[in-house]
Amino acid sequence: MTFTTRFAPSPTGPLHLGHAYSALLASDMATDQQGVFLLRIEDIDRSRSRTHWENQIYDDLEWLGLSWPSPVLRQSERLHVYEAALEDLWSQGLLYPCTCNRRDIAAAASAPQEGAPLLGPDGLIYPGTCRNAAIRTGAMPRNVPLRLDMEQASRVVSPEIEMSFLETGFGPNRETGQISFSRADLVNTIGDVVLSRRDMGTSYHLSVVLDDAEQGITRVVRGRDLFEATRIHILLQILLGLPRPSYHHHSLIRDDIGKRLAKRDDARAISKYRADGASPEDIREMVGLHHR
Ligand code: GLU
Ligand code: ZN
């Protein structure tokens, strides 16, 4: 199998130094292994994605000296694939509709008998309000958020299947190498994540595993903030019969006051550095990568 990495930005704002680091690292790793570097546009959030930002992504990445084969995979063209996977999980009885909003979840999670609310990769761990009452038979409901019943899902994974992944970078607590996790971890520290969001017909977690499989990604290179969510991705790969890549979580490039770069913060946009006369080599230097 050809060593294959990818960069998967969302066209919802300008690319920052952090994106440049991620893209350059993924491309360098592919080059070092005589592999392939692919691009994917994660535009499932139709309300925030813009063609203008997508075009600027191509422009910035080319300027940085990156190249990738065409056609680029765009998530908005794969909604039928996500739907088929949801149908698969629905028919396995693993999904249920839930329209609880953030406030409902916060209230239920902080109810006295629940103890301290716990945080998972997607925020507050869902307290399970709708889990038992929701109807799971018949046709899969449309235009309603669908959650994964984590307890049920981890139960259908046969005991021989190892739930683990190879980490070639580091997690937030220096985790590296073969990372194993238990069914109890999934239930207690992740819980019933949303796999289909309203108005999207999918979610980040669902599309990312389907698209990494479609693109034949063998090494996922991305920010350390997604380390914890990787367990969701491994579980989905098992449930959907998809190959399991290895993962390289890299450090997050921080700005001067140490806060994570947010897309709404234009200060460190690549385009700003370009306009100020920086060269691609300057960008490499700023993110701590060697010249090529
Ligand atoms: N679109 C995601 C992001 O920009 C990509 C996450 C991933 O690489 O898995 O954060
Ligand atoms: Zn609910």
Q: What is the pLDDT of residues 164-202, one digit of tens each?
A: 999 999 999 999 999 999 999 999 999 999 999 998 999
Q: Which two tokens stand for residue 269?
A: 């946009």
Q: Work out the average pLDDT over 116-132.
A: 90
Q: How far is the CA of 129 from the centre of ligand 2 (A)?
A: 5
Spatial CA neighbour of 78 closest among 269, 214, 262, 234: 214
- Express the helix, strand and coil content of the chain in percent, nearest 5 each: 40, 15, 45
pTM: 0.94
Give the ligand whose atoms come closest to the C-alpha of residue 102.
Answer: 2
Closest ligand 1 atom, CA of 7? 8
- What per-residue confidence (pLDDT) applies to 258? 46
Closest ligand 1 atom, CA of 42? 1
- Are the C-beta atoms of residues 239 and 205 closer than 8 Å to each other? no
User: Candidates 7, 37, 208, 260: which one to mutate for ligand 1, based on the most atoms within 8 Å of Cβ?
Assistant: 208
User: Which pLDDT tens digit goes with each residue over 207-227?
Assistant: 999 999 999 999 999 999 999
Q: How far is the CA of 150 from the centre of ligand 2 (A)?
A: 14
Confidence of residue 44 (pLDDT cuts 50, 70, 90): very high
User: Candidates 16, 226, 230, 248: which one to mutate for ligand 1, based on the most atoms within 8 Å of Cβ?
Assistant: 226
- Are the C-beta atoms of residues 206 and 96 closer than 8 Å to each other? no
What are the CA-CA distances from residue 151 to residues 59, 156, 203, 288 (Å)? Answer: 44, 9, 20, 42
Give the ligand whose atoms come closest to the C-alpha of residue 210.
Answer: 1
- Using CB distances shorter than 6 Å, the residues near ligand 1 are 8-10, 42, 208, 222, 226
pLDDT at residue 292 greater than cutoff 90: no
User: Candidates 53, 222, 228, 249: which one to mutate for ligand 1, based on the most atoms within 8 Å of Cβ?
Assistant: 222
